[in-house]
Amino acid sequence: MAEIISARVIVTCPGRNFVTLRIETRAGVYGLGDATLNGRELAVASYLNDHVIPCLIGRDAHRIEDIWQYLYKGAYWRRGPVTMSAIGAVDMALWDIKGKMAGLPVYQLLGGASREGCMVYGHANGADIEETIEAAIAHVEQGYKAVRLQSGVPGLAATYGVAKAGERYEPADGALPTESLWSTEKYMRSVAPLFEKAREALGWDVHLLHDVHHRLTPIEAGRLGRELEPYRPFWVEDPTPAENQAAFRLIRQHTNVPLAVGEVFNSIWDAKQLIEEQLIDYVRTTIVHAGGITHIRRIAALADLYQVRTGCHGATDLSPVTMAAALHFGLSVPNFGIQELMPHTELTNTVFPHAYSYRHGMMHPGDAPGLGIEIDEELAAKYEYTRAFLPVARLEDGTMFNW
Ligand code: GCO
Ligand code: MG
């Protein structure tokens, strides 16, 4: 029995907000879990503090599955990003504890390494095609085998995935949501030329990816996919909102471009039809937002039956704790596809020292027992929570749209 004697939530803002759960056992072994839900951080902190931590005290940290079921079924109100992020944080922390107690890195507990490392993709973005291609070339020079291309759209002041001049890309940038205008027509004219120029400049040995960020209808997505087919993208991400999973049938009727969906999903039920009907090729659900390692393994196991591979979300709003967990999972899972990498700032990395590393376009979780992740609490305490929202988008006539 590894009795849980205390647990607490640490909220810190070293440049952006992160919520971390620390669970401690009587033996003095503790584990860390990420509970960050971008733009809604304090909702998860409260869910943990007010509704989860009191139920954890006295339980056996080794009973990961039972605690998962207890928090999922026991809440009565199942699923949802807040609940599932809170469960995810507990689950990660318990795997961390189990690994430390066993003296093994978590990937060994998950069956051991299935590969030498996890291929990652980096983000190349720029105000126009030239700048984006320059950024892509810089990534290839750093060894990246896969690069996501997002470029400014002529005629639109701002668009998803493109950093403001001279800054890192960080979408949660306002104490109230900032608003930008969207035009599908202008966007649609800009993507194929970006890929055409990128293939000319980068050749065919690098994987190229693109994120539509939920902004097309299924038939528009079918058209975009068809236009991109000649440039062989690795994937096109979130071509249309996925609440209606059957909508992806229409996209499949029109294009064979590989599709990646699921960063906003929080359970296997969000992806079930997409996977079973083979309407997607990569499932992007993350450890933190979908109930931790325990639940993402279930999603991956279902996906494996249908030749759907993993492509976990890895934006900077997922803390280094999630990155560590994602790499242990990615190294071991049979149907790994790719892992997103948006490197954290130096400051974030100092607050969260870690065993994972990047080399030649691949990442490895390291061999420290547990997840191989720490939090410098003294440093974390210096950076107070700062309210920050994700932006919203409207069509040019003022209609609310999908950001
Ligand atoms: C991605 C995502 C992110 C999200 C962000 C929201 O593919 O990395 O789309 O950029 O917008 O994580 O919090
Ligand atoms: Mg995305």
Residue 126 phi/psi, 5-degree rounding, is: -165, 165
Asked whether residue 210 falls in the same domain as residue 309, the answer is: yes
Asked whether residue 133 falls in the same domain as residue 66, the answer is: no
With a 6 Å cutoff on the Cβ, whether 340 touches ligand 1 is yes
The protein residues having their C-beta less than 5 angstroms from ligand 2 (an ion) are 211, 263
- Return the residue whose CA atom lies nearest to atom 4 of ligand 1: 315
Q: Which residue has the tokens 């196991």?
A: 301
Is 160 one of the catalytic residues? yes
The one catalytic residue in 213, 214, 328, 354 is: 213
Tell me how far the alpha carbon of residue 166 lies from the centroid of ligand 2, in angstroms. Answer: 22
pLDDT at residue 166 in the model: 80
Asked whether residue 134 falls in the same domain as residue 217, the answer is: yes
With a 6 Å cutoff on the Cβ, whether 158 touches ligand 1 is no
Residues 6+ apart with CB under 8 A from 318: 34, 36, 286, 288, 326
Distances (CA, A) of 59 to 70, 90, 92: 11, 12, 16
pLDDT at residue 165 in the model: 80
Is residue 379 a part of any domain in this protein?
no
Query: What's the rounded Cα separation, in Å, for the pair 13 and 76?
Result: 32
Query: What's the rounded Cα separation, in Å, for the pair 142 and 145?
Result: 9
pLDDT at residue 184 in the model: 98
Cβ proximity of 266 and 289 under 8 Å? yes
Distances (CA, A) of 327 to 60, 246, 293, 299: 26, 31, 11, 16
With a 6 Å cutoff on the Cβ, whether 213 touches ligand 1 is yes
- Return the residue whose CA atom lies nearest to atom 2 of ligand 1: 315
Is residue 329 a part of any domain in this protein?
yes
pLDDT at residue 173 in the model: 87
Which ligand 1 atom lies nearest to the CA of residue 38?
A: 13
- Return the residue whose CA atom lies nearest to atom 12 of ligand 1: 315
Which ligand 1 atom lies nearest to the CA of residue 211?
A: 7
With a 6 Å cutoff on the Cβ, whether 171 touches ligand 1 is yes
Residue type, 19: V
pLDDT string in tens for the chain (403-residue length)? 999 999 999 999 999 999 999 999 999 999 999 999 999 999 999 999 999 999 999 999 999 999 999 999 999 999 999 999 999 999 999 999 999 999 999 999 999 999 999 999 999 999 999 999 999 999 999 999 999 999 999 999 989 999 888 888 889 989 999 999 999 999 999 999 999 999 999 999 999 999 999 999 999 999 999 999 999 999 999 999 999 999 999 999 999 999 999 999 999 999 999 999 999 999 999 999 999 999 999 999 999 999 999 999 999 999 999 999 999 999 999 999 999 999 999 999 999 999 999 999 999 999 999 999 999 999 999 999 999 999 999 999 999 999 9
pLDDT at residue 226 in the model: 98
Residues 6+ apart with CB under 8 A from 150: 123, 124, 125, 132, 159, 160, 161, 162, 210, 211
Distances (CA, A) of 314 to 106, 151, 190, 285, 317: 19, 19, 25, 10, 8
Is residue 91 a part of any domain in this protein?
yes
Asked whether residue 263 falls in the same domain as residue 116, the answer is: yes
Is residue 52 a part of any domain in this protein?
yes
The count of structural domains within the chain is 2
Instruction: Find the CATH number of the domain harbouring 193.
Output: 3.20.20.120
Cβ proximity of 224 and 191 under 8 Å? yes
With a 6 Å cutoff on the Cβ, whether 41 touches ligand 1 is no
Asked whether residue 18 falls in the same domain as residue 151, the answer is: no
Residue of 317, 323, 338, 342 to test ligand 1 pocket, by largest number of atoms within 8 Å of CB: 317
Instruction: Find the CATH number of the domain harbouring 100.
Output: 3.30.390.10
pLDDT at residue 373 in the model: 98
Query: Could you tell me how many helices (H) and strands (E) the chain has, helices first?
Result: 14, 16
Is residue 387 a part of any domain in this protein?
no
Tell me how far the alpha carbon of residue 294 lies from the centroid of ligand 2, in angstroms. Answer: 23
Asked whether residue 218 falls in the same domain as residue 101, the answer is: no
Residues 6+ apart with CB under 8 A from 103: 369
Asked whether residue 51 falls in the same domain as residue 166, the answer is: no
Is residue 398 a part of any domain in this protein?
no
Domain boundary among 72, 105, 138: 105
User: Rg of the Cα trace of the chain?
Assistant: 21
Distances (CA, A) of 36 to 179, 233, 309, 352: 23, 30, 24, 14
Cβ proximity of 301 and 48 under 8 Å? no
Domain with 233 in it: 109-367
With a 6 Å cutoff on the Cβ, whether 281 touches ligand 1 is no
With a 6 Å cutoff on the Cβ, whether 317 touches ligand 1 is yes
Domain boundary among 86, 105, 124: 105
Provide the 8-state DSSP code for 51. Answer: I
Nearest ligand to the CA atom of 322 = 1
Asked whether residue 131 falls in the same domain as residue 254, the answer is: yes
Asked whether residue 184 falls in the same domain as residue 303, the answer is: yes
Query: What's the rounded Cα separation, in Å, for the pair 87 and 263?
Result: 17
Which ligand 1 atom lies nearest to the CA of residue 318?
A: 12
Query: What's the rounded Cα separation, in Å, for the pair 98 and 90?
Result: 12
Asked whether residue 34 falls in the same domain as residue 120, the answer is: no
Cβ proximity of 279 and 268 under 8 Å? no
Tell me how far the alpha carbon of residue 315 lies from the centroid of ligand 1, in angstroms. Answer: 6
With a 6 Å cutoff on the Cβ, whether 215 touches ligand 1 is no
- Return the residue whose CA atom lies nearest to atom 10 of ligand 1: 315
The secondary element (H helix, E strand) that includes residue 282 is strand 282-283
Residue of 213, 264, 288 to test ligand 1 pocket, by largest number of atoms within 8 Å of CB: 213
b (16+ CB within 10 A) / e for 37-63: bbbbbebbbebbbeebbebbeebebbe
- Return the residue whose CA atom lies nearest to atom 1 of ligand 1: 315
Is 295 one of the catalytic residues? no
Is residue 300 a part of any domain in this protein?
yes
Asked whether residue 45 falls in the same domain as residue 143, the answer is: no
Query: What's the rounded Cα separation, in Å, for the pair 353 and 269?
Result: 34
The one catalytic residue in 160, 187, 231, 383 is: 160
Asked whether residue 150 falls in the same domain as residue 28, the answer is: no
Q: Can you read off the two tokens belonging to residue 54?
A: 């009191």
Tell me how far the alpha carbon of residue 176 lies from the centroid of ligand 2, in angstroms. Answer: 22
